[in-house]
Structure 1
Amino acid sequence: MAALAWLLIPLIAALGAAIWGGWAARNRTTGDVTELAGYARFREAMEKSHSGSEAV
């Protein structure tokens, strides 16, 4: 029985590593799209606020 326990420990560790590796490598591009859209709105707002304030 002890031999079986020693064989299960690396198996459980490998399974946990595989799950963690899959989670760490997941696709997270949706947050970037939202942030880039917010940055574009910020730039547009800044251009609007400066367009009428200076007479160049």
Structure 2
Amino acid sequence: MAALIWLLIPLMAAIGAGLWGSWANRTRKVRGDGPELDGYARFREAMERSRPST
């Protein structure tokens, strides 16, 4: 009986890991690249303004 319990421990750990993995990789709401691209455009504009003219 004790050997059966020792075999159930890794089984429960595997089931828990599978549940956690499916939860961690769940489909999230996709917001697209809009905000990131807007921020990058503002960054480029700021870098162009701060560049010393030669």
TM-score bracket for this pair, using the shorter chain length: 0.5 to 0.7
Percent sequence identity over matched residues? Answer: 59
String of CA shifts for 1:7-49, please: whole Å, max 9, x gaps. Answer: 000000000000000000000025x37xx6xx7xxxxxxxxxx
Q: 5 Å matches for 1:18-37?
A: 18-29=18-29, 32=31
In the alignment, which residue of structure 2 is the partner of 1:2? Answer: 2
Distance 2:3 2:22 in 1: 29
Q: Give the unaligned 5+ runs of structure 1.
A: 40-56
Structure 2 residue 10 is the aligned partner of structure 1 residue 13: no
State TM-score, norm by structure 2.
Answer: 0.54
Distance 2:27 2:10 in 1: 28
Aligned length: 34
State TM-score, norm by structure 1.
Answer: 0.52
Letter in structure 1 aligned against 2:10: P
